[in-house]
């Protein structure tokens, strides 16, 4: 699991933009995947009570 930039406060939008861009580029270059904890069917079942 990647945990980055969670141990500090990012002071301004320029630094935030730079950090997010670098993180995104690195994740894409490494072809990282997201391991979702549930399927859309599971989500629909669990969250159906919140839908109108």
Query: Residue 1 — pLDDT band, cuts 50, 70, 90?
Result: very low
Beta strands in the chain (DSSP E): none
Whole-number pLDDT of residue 5: 60
Is pTM, for the whole model, over 0.75?
A: no
DSSP state for residue 48 in the 8-state scheme = G
Whole-number pLDDT of residue 21: 93
8 A C-beta contact, residue 18 and residue 26: no
> pLDDT tens for residues 2-47?
566 667 888 899 999 998 899 899 989 999 888 878 888 888 888 8
Structure tokens at 3: 């945990």
Whole-number pLDDT of residue 12: 92
Structure tokens at 23: 């993180």
Dihedrals φ, ψ of 2, to 5°? -95, 130
Residue carrying structure tokens 């670098």: 22
Q: Which of 20, 2, 23, 22 is nearest to 10 (CA)?
A: 20
């Amino acid at each position: 699991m990647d945990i980055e930039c969670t141990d500090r406060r990012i002071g301004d939008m320029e630094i935030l933009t730079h950090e997010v861009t670098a993180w995104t580029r690195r994740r894409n270059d490494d072809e990282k995947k997201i391991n979702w904890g549930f399927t859309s069917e599971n989500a629909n079942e669990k969250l159906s009570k919140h839908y109108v």
